[in-house]
A and B are shown apart, each in its own frame.
Chain A
């Protein structure tokens, strides 16, 4: 099946710093999504991207759908303690089930 490579696996950053993470695939998707999982909770959808090249923001979060349709990026600006959690990318092709990345564990140090 399709596989998503998400990096980095984990990040330790200082409060106030910007964060970047990405997801790459060996095959194309026509939808890219970013979910966040708070400790002890289920994932929550942050951003959905539907077009190659699309750049979408949600507050301090910005995500991009790569031109090749094989990658996506998520940036978080001016990190705060509540940004802690696991960030998952997910891709969808046509009407198939989502394929999830393995997650990026983000820790924000005071």
Chain B
């Protein structure tokens, strides 16, 4: 079982460029999440999806869009990257159709915006 798979693992962008971070889970989980991790700030929720076709904003959604393509996949898009979006991004999933506490995380994408 792969669990939660994120691609790419590393990415460098120039200010203003766009990109999509991909995430897929093979645990048949209903809920999926995107978090960002910054030094000294823990994990902050960007967007959340309780089921296919539904998405909700988290604590820090500005500058991001998401798409829940199907039950397995949840992508995060940066339309016009800014240096403030330099961070490590984690995708996660949980079993139920609602904010879960037992989250399964991917191994992260380290993004640098120059």
Cβ–Cβ contact B105 & A97, under 8 A: no
CB neighbors of A among B56-114 (8 A): 58-59, 90, 92, 98-99, 101-108
Q: Is A102 an interface residue (CB 8 A)?
A: yes
Q: Is A66 an interface residue (CB 8 A)?
A: no
Q: Is B42 an interface residue (CB 8 A)?
A: yes
Determine the distance from Cα of A40 to Cα of B102 in the docked complex, in whole angstroms: 20
Give the number of residues in B that approach A within 8 Å (Cβ atoms). Answer: 22
Q: Which of A9, A45, A95 contacts B98 (CB 8 A)?
A: A95
Q: Is the interface of B mostly helix, strand, loop or mixed?
A: loop
A80-94 interface code vs B (CB 8 A; 1 in, 0 out): 000000001010100
CB within 8 Å for A42 and B107 given contacts A48-B102, A92-B101: yes
CB within 8 Å for A44 and B105 given contacts A92-B99, A96-B99: yes
Q: Is A33 an interface residue (CB 8 A)?
A: yes
CB within 8 Å for A97 and B45 given contacts A33-B101, A42-B105, A42-B108: yes
Interface residues on A, range: 20 to 34
CB within 8 Å for A102 and B41 given contacts A43-B105, A48-B102: yes
Determine the distance from Cα of A9 to Cα of B108 in the docked complex, in whole angstroms: 22
A1-38 interface code vs B (CB 8 A; 1 in, 0 out): 10010100100000000000000000000010101000
**What's the nearest-Cβ distance from chain A to residue B62, in Å?**
15
Cβ–Cβ contact B101 & A48, under 8 A: yes
Q: Is B4 an interface residue (CB 8 A)?
A: yes
A35-60 interface code vs B (CB 8 A; 1 in, 0 out): 10000111111001000000000000
Nearest to A103 among chain B residues (CB) is B42
**What's the nearest-Cβ distance from chain B to residue A46, in Å?**
11
CB within 8 Å for A97 and B99 given contacts A9-B40, A41-B108, A88-B43: yes
Nearest to A92 among chain B residues (CB) is B101
14 interchain pairs, CB-CB under 8 A: A43-B43, A43-B90, A44-B105, A48-B101, A48-B102, A88-B42, A88-B43, A92-B99, A96-B99, A97-B45, A97-B48, A97-B58, A97-B59, A102-B42
